[in-house]
Amino acid sequence: MVSLGLSNDLIVDKIHATDATDFDTSMEGLKSLKAANVSDIVIRAMVVPHPAIAANTDSTAAQEQPPQPDPDDPNAPHDPGIYIYAKTKDGPKMLPLEPTVYSEGKTSGVAASAFTFGIAKVKFLAVVQGPNAGVKTTDSNMVFYFYFEEPGAGLTYAPYEGPTSPNEFALLKFEGKKDSRETVVMTANMFGTSSGTDQKSSIHFSFTKLRPGVYKVTPNAPLLPGEYCFLSSAGLDRHGPGSAGANRLFDFAVTPAP
């Protein structure tokens, strides 16, 4: 067709209208075509003789790909855990709280207890190494989302039989030290032992069950700048002060807005 002097458009139309083609588009074949003064437009049509079919195939493949969930949408599926939903300069974001190991056994009030023959209370502290949490936000009005592994199961991060709702967690403000953060997890005196957190550091919150295993948690007041954590009371009896085991908590920080 090239030797007959037909135009490129006519040759390309003829190629596209042909049901089946058997062009030699190998390197040797392309060399022969160029030697015969066949234009690149025609050669391209020979390489892809039915572009509409190829485009439809690509479109079908794209349609078969399911849409990816938005990781910053609280209603989208998420891995089990606790997430902060907070404002950022790029819009609201979901920030996962990674579990942090804390050590037990450090006490305060030992001297007073000894002086009062065990009447004064001894406080057992949960101690987290490092002065600051890795996850930080400047949004003091953030909310939290709890995603449990399944209804009736605990968060997978828990090393023991975990809690099943936010009602089994305490939101606490740490007391900062030079190289650590501390919060009370148990008190004891001669009259007995009491598991529980210090009311002075406890932050009240409310929660709403959105669907099985998913809860929205809202602090009852804006959080002031400081270091905080969610701590579950489950397992305190099993991992009491002085035990070799370690518990986990979910820590975060609220920093002053710039």
Q: What is the pLDDT of residue 144?
A: 97
CB neighbour burial string for 163-188, b if at least 16 within 10 angstroms, e if fewer? bbebeebbbbbbbeeeebbbbbbbbb
73 falls within a domain: no
> Does 176 lie in the same domain as 113?
yes
> Does 210 lie in the same domain as 169?
yes
Q: 204: closest CA among 191, 220, 224, 181?
A: 220
pTM: 0.62
What are the tens digits of pLDDT across the range 40-57? 777 776 776 666 555 555
231 falls within a domain: yes
Average pLDDT over residues 133-137: 94
Residue 53 has what DSSP assignment?
H
- The pair of structure tokens assigned to 28 is 């040797």
Average pLDDT over residues 193-218: 80
Domain residue limits at 175: 81-254
User: Do residues 104 and 239 lie in contact, with contact meaning Cβ atoms separated by under 8 Å?
Assistant: yes
Identify which has the larger pLDDT, 239 or 29: 29
Number of domains making up the chain: 2
User: Do residues 82 and 97 lie in contact, with contact meaning Cβ atoms separated by under 8 Å?
Assistant: yes
> Does 94 lie in the same domain as 176?
yes
Task: State phi, psi for 50 to the nearest 5 degrees.
Answer: -130, 75
Say whether 75 sits in a helix, a strand or coil.
Answer: coil
What are the tens digits of pLDDT across the range 11-44? 666 776 776 677 777 778 767 777 777 777 777 7
Q: How confident is the model at residue 246 (pLDDT cuts 50, 70, 90)?
A: very low
Q: What is the pLDDT of residue 36?
A: 77
Q: What is the pLDDT of residue 199?
A: 63
- The pair of structure tokens assigned to 122 is 């001894």
Q: List residues bridging with 94 in a β-sheet.
A: 85
Rounded Cα distance, 115 and 66, in Å: 69
What are the tens digits of pLDDT across the range 104-131? 755 644 333 333 333 345 577 788 889 9
